């Protein structure tokens, strides 16, 4: 490590010292991901890469083949007799509670007498190899008595079957506002779900210890939740279960609650056999068993004035919750809180129904209901603009929340004041830098001269609330250790899934202690080090854990500063840490030297830190409060070209402008913006989940489920971070960057819709649904063409009728004149 600094033989002046300190920073710098080299060289260890302990066994799950049925008989003899099998366990073998639900106790680890979706685990088999376990799991003979199955949200809605009670939010008098509005857009929209498709599948490796203890190495975003589930399943206390996670190969929300099943099943086997057991799902089983992003179905009625300003709105949302509650209630809550997206809604009614379907229990996914809530208002505004023959950007801007000096239009539908609205400035900057108006004119010219290929353009904004809606989750802890050589080890409650949280927290600690980044290392997230952690979710990972780590490092910095003053005199306020040195008046002390001296003087060189986000509150009964610490903003412009004969399309160019506040690491944040955008584009265009008539998910492998590839990225991809500073006291005034960029992909969907609308001169609303697959686009093109054909035919009929009527009138006039002439004669 290099902590040296060139100091002239004559020493440094006070001004030079101040300049050295002022010019140095570890935060706000673009630094490589802390595991980047390990990733690209294949040295980064994931759960399945950890060398297996002697005697390790492998498990696999036996799954239901029916969507809704009672188990009438189960013969597992063939499973037990299969090659390599050591043991088979069912629900009866669980010594504690047979449940892995994160909120409600409605999610069994292993189904006992009732199965509620195809793919639900019924038993777990343990064998001497992964392949033997998987083969054996398919040998079971199970008899069922089938029951009626609700396979769609509409089915569940008709039966009034919900996993949690319906939710309703109302502000103002939407009914009156809609009745008085001179114009309306009404309609329906369906937006599909999305598979998380993490590169590393679900996996847990359970290692039994002495005195009924259990170590679980688990690919999870929520080690503490895994600790609780395993403890409850085994009937032991939490302090007997230790969960560790160094890194995940992706999570995206799919490992927040859904990793619990795998952790509990592996631990159950290890508990009984007193041998290490690894449970690793192959891709097909992973997709068949686990929940996805909730698909939504909407019914909307939005009233507006002659200019396009929204006067009132009524929105109804049906969620495919799946067979159990899982996280559907908070997903629906966040969806309700994000229906406004960037727009002020004075009078609004929003309803959300978490429909119980006999499909996988849907769960968290990047955005956590926010994207599904926000897209419906964008869809309605797109309709309004077309109906008024206006550019959608102008209607969007007209309906933006007010600027900060206009409090009358700066309160959300749930009662939170917006103190930092920068959408006007951000959108204006992007409109200019993307040459939006010029390109709009060029696209109109292109479409007039091309019949088959049509281009589309859209600019869409994002406002996304940052914090857990459940207030008590907004807390974090950290430990910072300084060793006598000046190196630093950090442990915190956040989990690394590739998003760079460890890198950012290393930067925060290095900056606080005034040392270089290579002197700081993060150890694996471990429930025995930082207890009672929250999930790394809701875009809060760096905010919460960064503040906790900063708190711990700051405590150590003060201790060292006080010790330096004891050695050299002066006040603590005169001590500065920077460039690997400690500055006190004209004294410049290498950081390791001061640390060694402090150790010899018995100064404590480790500290814990804690942080709880202030000012948050939420009332789930009234759906009002101040649930978010702040808002992240962004906007995107996308240009597409569509083949109207096939529905095929290509993204030509995208411009993204995102508000990351004072970015902790611009390189990592830019990568998150790019990745979030592409993932959102996949959700809205290519990633289609499809269940057959029996309720079996048929898109359960990359052969049938299409995530975006490198070829789907635009050739012209322009990404910038907006220059801004968080008005809230976040970590170094930065802003979250995990989830909000996914909503930037709205511009792709609405650019496609714009291209389809151009087929008939933007006279009709394309009934485009999401995902906008090639088939969906083609159906939408044909629908618009049919609308135009019907209108043309109606016009022709009217013209013929008008000509016929005119001819009759002429003939009558001529006959009248002839009769008059005859009478005169």
What does the pLDDT look like over 509-545, one tens digit per residue? 999 999 999 999 999 999 999 999 999 999 999 999 9
User: Residue 811: what pLDDT?
Assistant: 74
User: Cα(150)–Cα(159) distance, rounded to whole angstroms?
Assistant: 9
All residues at 6 or more sequence positions from 543 whose CB lies less than 8 Å from its CB, including other chains:
466, 613, 629, 730, 731, 734, 736
Backbone torsion region of residue 625, taken as left when φ is above 0, otherwise alpha when ψ lies between -120 and 50, otherwise beta: left
Q: What is the CA radius of gyration of the chain?
A: 31
User: Residue 1: what pLDDT?
Assistant: 37
What does the block give as tokens for 724? Answer: 């801004």
Whether residue 163 is predicted with pLDDT greater than 60 in this model: the reply is yes
**Entry field: residues in the chain:** 825
CB 62 within 8 A of CB 125: yes
End-to-end CA distance of the chain: 123
User: Cα(605)–Cα(607) distance, rounded to whole angstroms?
Assistant: 7
3-state secondary structure string across 98-157: CCCCCCCCCCCCCCCCEECCCCCEEEEEEECCHHHHHHHHCCCEEEEEECCCCCCHHHHH
SS3 for 304?
A: strand
User: Residue 407: what pLDDT?
Assistant: 59
- What percent of the chain clears pLDDT 90, i.e. is strictly above it? 92
Report, as an integer, the average pLDDT of 386-409: 90
Residue at token pair 């673009």: 30
Q: Among 114, 100, 21, which residue's Cα sits nearest to residue 68?
A: 114
CB 267 within 8 A of CB 233: yes
What does the block give as tokens for 575? Answer: 């001590």
Helices and strands in the chain: count of H runs, count of E runs? 20, 29
Residue at token pair 């609303």: 765
Cα–chain-centroid distance for residue 563?
45
User: Cα(436)–Cα(430) distance, rounded to whole angstroms?
Assistant: 8
What does the pLDDT look like over 558-592, one tens digit per residue? 999 999 999 999 999 999 999 999 999 888 999 99
Q: Among 654, 627, 625, 652, which residue's Cα sits nearest to residue 641?
A: 652
- The phi and psi torsions of 755 (rounded to 5 degrees) equal -65, -40
- The phi and psi torsions of 334 (rounded to 5 degrees) equal -65, -35
CB 128 within 8 A of CB 86: yes
Q: What residues pair up with 584 in beta bridges, in sequence order? A: 575, 587
- The phi and psi torsions of 136 (rounded to 5 degrees) equal -65, -35
Instruction: Name the DSSP letter for residue 679.
Output: H
User: Cα(3)–Cα(578) distance, rounded to whole angstroms?
Assistant: 10
Whether residue 4 is predicted with pLDDT greater than 60 in this model: the reply is no
SS3 for 755?
A: helix
User: Residue 38: what pLDDT?
Assistant: 97
By DSSP bridging, strand 277-280 and strand 57-63 are: parallel
Q: How many CA atoms lie within 13 A of 561 on its CB side?
A: 20
User: Residue 553: what pLDDT?
Assistant: 98
From the candidates 34, 431, 688, 739, which is the catalytic residue? 739
Residue at token pair 């033997």: 132
Ranking 1-15, 205-219, 259-273 by mean pLDDT, the lowest is: 1-15
User: Residue 824: what pLDDT?
Assistant: 59
User: Cα(669)–Cα(499) distance, rounded to whole angstroms?
Assistant: 9
User: Residue 586: what pLDDT?
Assistant: 80
Whether residue 9 is predicted with pLDDT greater than 50 in this model: the reply is no
In sequence order, which ranges of 617-757 are alpha helices (DSSP H)? 666-685, 746-757
B/e letters for 376-386, b = 16+ CB within 10 Å, e = fewer, are bbbbbbbbbbb
Report, as an integer, the average pLDDT of 212-217: 98
Residue at token pair 């920077």: 578
What does the block give as tokens for 824? Answer: 């005169």
User: Cα(571)–Cα(563) distance, rounded to whole angstroms?
Assistant: 11
What does the block give as tokens for 518? Answer: 């290579």
User: Cα(123)–Cα(407) distance, rounded to whole angstroms?
Assistant: 58
Q: Which H or E run includes 434? A: none
User: Cα(588)–Cα(564) distance, rounded to whole angstroms?
Assistant: 11
CB 70 within 8 A of CB 147: yes
Q: How many CB atoms lie within 10 A of CB 66?
A: 22
User: Cα(523)–Cα(507) distance, rounded to whole angstroms?
Assistant: 15
- What percent of the chain clears pLDDT 70, i.e. is strictly above it? 96
User: Cα(86)–Cα(273) distance, rounded to whole angstroms?
Assistant: 9
User: Cα(318)–Cα(335) distance, rounded to whole angstroms?
Assistant: 11
User: Cα(62)–Cα(125) distance, rounded to whole angstroms?
Assistant: 7
By DSSP bridging, strand 649-658 and strand 716-721 are: parallel
Q: What is the mean pLDDT of the chain?
A: 95
User: Cα(596)–Cα(679) distance, rounded to whole angstroms?
Assistant: 48
Query: Strand ranges (DSSP E) for 116-264?
Result: 121-127, 141-146, 167-171, 183-191, 203-208, 214-218, 241-245
All residues at 6 or more sequence positions from 232 whose CB lies less than 8 Å from its CB, including other chains:
96, 97, 99
Q: What residues pair up with 721 in beta bridges, in sequence order? A: 658
User: Residue 21: what pLDDT?
Assistant: 83
Is 739 one of the catalytic residues?
yes
Whether residue 8 is predicted with pLDDT greater than 60 in this model: the reply is no
Ranking 72-76, 88-92, 594-598, 805-809 by mean pLDDT, the lowest is: 805-809
Whether residue 800 is predicted with pLDDT greater than 50 in this model: the reply is yes
CB 452 within 8 A of CB 648: no
What does the pLDDT look like over 231-252, one tens digit per residue? 999 999 999 999 999 999 999 9
User: Cα(109)–Cα(121) distance, rounded to whole angstroms?
Assistant: 7
Q: Among 517, 513, 514, which residue's Cα sits nearest to residue 502?
A: 517
- The phi and psi torsions of 322 (rounded to 5 degrees) equal 90, -165
Report, as an integer, the average pLDDT of 261-277: 98
Record the pTM.
Answer: 0.95
Whether residue 96 is predicted with pLDDT greater than 60 in this model: the reply is yes
Q: Which H or E run includes 379? A: helix 370-388
pLDDT band of residue 794 (cuts 50, 70, 90) is confident
Q: Among 484, 478, 487, which residue's Cα sits nearest to residue 602?
A: 484
User: Cα(427)–Cα(499) distance, rounded to whole angstroms?
Assistant: 26
User: Cα(141)–Cα(264) distance, rounded to whole angstroms?
Assistant: 24
User: Residue 808: what pLDDT?
Assistant: 72
Whether residue 123 is predicted with pLDDT greater than 90 in this model: the reply is yes
Alpha carbon separation from 124 to 114, 227, 538 (Å, rounded): 16, 20, 32
């Amino acid at each position: 490590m290099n902590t040296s600094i060139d100091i002239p033989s004559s020493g440094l002046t006070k001004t030079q010292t101040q300049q050295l300190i002022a010019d140095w920073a570890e935060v706000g710098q673009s630094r490589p991901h802390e595991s980047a080299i390990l990733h690209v060289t294949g040295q980064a260890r994931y759960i399945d890469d950890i060398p297996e302990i002697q005697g390790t066994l492998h498990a696999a799950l036996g799954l239901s083949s029916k969507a809704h049925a009672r188990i009438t008989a189960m013969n597992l003899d063939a499973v037990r007799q299969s090659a390599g099998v050591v043991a088979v366990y069912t629900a009866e073998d669980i010594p504690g509670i047979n449940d892995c639900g994160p909120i409600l106790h409605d999610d069994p680890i292993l189904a006992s007498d009732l199965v509620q979706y195809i793919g639900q685990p019924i038993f777990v088999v343990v064998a001497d190899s992964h392949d033997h376990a998987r083969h054996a799991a398919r040998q079971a003979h199970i008899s069922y008595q089938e029951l009626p199955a609700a396979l769609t949200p509409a089915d569940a809605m008709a039966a009034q079957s919900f996993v949690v009670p319906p939710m309703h939010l109302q502000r103002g008098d939407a009914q009156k506002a809609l009745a008085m509005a001179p114009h309306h857009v009404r309609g329906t929209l369906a937006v599909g779900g999305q598979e998380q498709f993490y590169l590393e599948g679900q996996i847990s490796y359970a290692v039994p210890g002495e005195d009924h203890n259990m170590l679980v190495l688990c690919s999870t975003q929520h080690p503490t939740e895994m600790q609780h589930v395993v403890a409850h399943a085994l009937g032991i206390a939490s302090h007997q279960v230790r969960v560790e996670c160094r890194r995940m190969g992706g999570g995206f929300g799919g490992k927040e609650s859904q990793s619990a099943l795998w952790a509990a099943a592996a631990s159950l086997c290890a508990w009984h056999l007193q041998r290490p057991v690894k449970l690793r799902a192959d891709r097909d089983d992973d997709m068949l068993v686990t929940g996805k992003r909730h698909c939504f179905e909407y019914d909307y009625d939005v009233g507006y004035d002659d200019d396009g300003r929204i006067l009132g709105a009524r929105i109804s949302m049906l969620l495919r919750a799946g067979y159990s509650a899982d996280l559907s209630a908070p997903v629906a809550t966040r969806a309700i809180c994000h229906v406004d997206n960037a727009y002020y809604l004075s009078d609004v009614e929003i309803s959300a129904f978490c429909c119980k379907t006999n499909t996988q229990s849907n769960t968290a996914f990047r955005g956590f209901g926010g994207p599904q809530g926000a897209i419906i208002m964008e869809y309605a505004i797109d309709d309004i603009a077309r109906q008024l023959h206006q550019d959608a950007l102008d209607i969007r801007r007209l309906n933006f929340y007010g600027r900060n000096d206009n409090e009358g239009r700066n309160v959300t539908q749930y009662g939170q004041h917006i103190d930092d609205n920068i959408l006007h400035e951000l959108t204006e900057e992007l409109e200019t830098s993307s040459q939006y108006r010029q390109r709009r004119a060029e696209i109109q010219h292109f479409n007039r001269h091309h019949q088959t290929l049509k281009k589309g353009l859209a600019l869409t904004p994002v406002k996304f609330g940052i914090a857990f809606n459940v207030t008590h989750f907004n807390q974090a802890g950290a430990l910072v250790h300084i060793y006598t050589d000046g190196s630093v080890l950090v442990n915190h409650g956040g989990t690394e899934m590739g998003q760079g949280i460890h890198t950012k927290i290393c930067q925060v600690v290095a900056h606080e202690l005034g040392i270089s980044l290579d002197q700081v290392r993060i150890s694996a997230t471990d429930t025995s080090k930082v207890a009672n952690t929250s999930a790394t979710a809701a875009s809060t990972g760096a905010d919460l854990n960064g503040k906790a780590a900063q708190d711990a490092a700051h405590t150590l910095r003060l201790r060292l500063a006080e010790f330096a003053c004891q050695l050299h005199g002066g006040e603590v306020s005169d001590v500065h840490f920077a460039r690997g040195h400690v500055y006190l008046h004209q004294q410049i002390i290498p950081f390791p030297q001061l640390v060694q001296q402090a150790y010899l003087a018995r100064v404590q060189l480790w500290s814990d830190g804690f942080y709880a986000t202030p000012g948050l509150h939420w009332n789930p009964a009234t759906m009002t409060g101040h649930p978010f610490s702040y808002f992240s903003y962004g906007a995107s412009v996308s240009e597409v070209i569509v083949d109207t004969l096939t529905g095929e399309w290509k993204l030509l160019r995208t411009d993204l402008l995102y508000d990351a506040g004072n970015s902790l690491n611009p390189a990592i944040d830019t990568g998150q913006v790019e990745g979030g955008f592409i993932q959102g584009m996949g959700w809205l265009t290519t990633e289609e989940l499809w269940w057959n008539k029996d309720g079996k998910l048929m898109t359960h492998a990359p052969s049938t489920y299409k995530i975006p590839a490198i070829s789907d990225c635009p050739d012209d991809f322009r990404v910038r971070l907006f220059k801004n500073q968080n008005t809230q006291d976040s970590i170094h005034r930065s802003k979250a960057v995990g989830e909000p960029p996914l909503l930037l992909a709205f511009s792709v969907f609405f650019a496609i819709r714009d291209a389809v609308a151009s087929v008939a001169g933007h006279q009709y609303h394309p009934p485009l649904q999401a995902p906008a697959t090639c088939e969906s686009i083609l159906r939408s093109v044909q629908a618009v063409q049919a609308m135009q054909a019907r209108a043309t035919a109606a016009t022709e009929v009217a013209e013929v009728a008008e000509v016929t009527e005119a001819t009759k009138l002429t003939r009558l006039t001529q006959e009248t004149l002839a009769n008059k002439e005859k009478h005169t004669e």
